[in-house]
Structure 1
Amino acid sequence: MNSARLLAAMAAAFVWTFLTDFLIHGLWLAPDYRATAEVWRPEVAMQARFIYMVLGHVLMGVVFAVLWAKSIWRGPLAGAVFGFWMGAFQHVVVVFTYVAVPVRGDIAAKWIAAGMLQAVVLGVLVALIYHKRGLARA
């Protein structure tokens, strides 16, 4: 593995998911969250746990980039496919959350749709940063 490219891919993954999660949850879904406030922690309680959100994004970026670097795939198209499957794996938990927590169906659907798009773009981004030569294509 190329350490410099891997670190760059990890950093890019963190920045991409952190910023897009803000756009998705902080802006787009904010009205839905306000309308279902009884389901969520109070804002002050979430702010007190913000460091865990940051650490979760760091861990996600590390895992995503390392798994890509260890894979045999190369190129942006393969990155999109990789991102699709990583997103599918990550968002299966939304189905379980929908069953166990009183989350509206439209919110769960938006989580899945936005998360899948986010993961596909992340796959392309990581593939472009951690480019590989001489390996199999998807």
Structure 2
Amino acid sequence: MGDKKTRQDIKVLLLKRRAAFLIDYILVYFLNHILFAFLFDPPTYHYEKEFWLVFVALFFCYGIFLDWILGQTPGKRILGIRIVDENGNTPSLVALLSRKISSAVLFLFLSKSSEVPFKDTFTKIITVKI
């Protein structure tokens, strides 16, 4: 068998990555609502711009912090995946920051391959099934 991945394995992994992202997105969205409920009494929608700015910052930090400290986010844990460096270890903070920044900057422009996203080639981090 070796380390060769079949197209089906890659497809399943991509679906799991997207599902993990969605789970984490929903968790951070509700966390942000709870945060705003405590900051603004009563919570109103007059702070829509602030809500989304805090959401983006929270989502950015959430992914980096949990991947660095715990090795995976709740979404990845639920789906049995995690990210590792090329040696199979938890990536360094610098690598995670690079991955997140390159993901944000390059998301729309350089998503040329569905098998290995550009950001993962650049940072040498991969998602693996556990």
Between structures 1 and 2, the one with greater strand share: 2
TM-score (norm 1): 0.35
TM-score normalised per structure 2: 0.37
Whose RCO is larger (CA < 8 A, sep 6+)? 1
Q: Which has the higher helix share?
A: 1
